[in-house]
Amino acid sequence: DAGVIQSPRHEVTEMGQEVTLRCKPISGHDYLFWYRQTMMRGLELLIYFNNNVPIDDSGMPEDRFSAKMPNASFSTLKIQPSEPRDSAVYFCASSLNNEQFFGPGTRLTVL
């Protein structure tokens, strides 16, 4: 059974460009989480969905960040415009009960 799938795995872009990160959760999981991980701050929750509905987006750093979940098998995290301080690893995770299963992450570098 496939785990959480994220794409792209690596993204290098220039400041000001739009970045879209994609996630496919594990089939049947009803929760989806977006995290950001940096050395300084560790793993931070950005937003999470339950049954495709955003529940808490208080972790989204600012209006440049947006996330959508149009259906149970797909979610996107968009940064527009991107800035160098957005450089981090972005993880998507899904869960059915208490255990969260993480995708391999997208390593984003904004020059």
Positions in the binding site for another protein (CB under 8 A)? 31, 41-43, 45, 48, 50, 55-56, 91, 95, 98-100, 102-105
- Shortest Cβ 26–another protein spacing (Å): 13
Nearer to another protein, 59 or 81 (CB): 59
For 49, which DSSP code? E
Q: Under DSSP, is residue 104 helix (H, G, I), strand (E, B) or coil?
A: coil
Which CB sits closer to another protein, 3 or 16?
3
From edge to edge, which strands make up the β-sheet containing 65-71? 5-7, 19-24, 74-79, 65-71
Residue closer to another protein, measured from CB, 57 or 81:
57
Where b means 16+ CB within 10 Å and e means fewer, 4-34 reads: bebeeeebebeeeeebebbbbbbeebebbbb
Whole-number minimum distance, CB 77 to another protein, in Å? 16
Kindly state the smallest distance separating residue 73's Cβ from another protein, in Å.
19
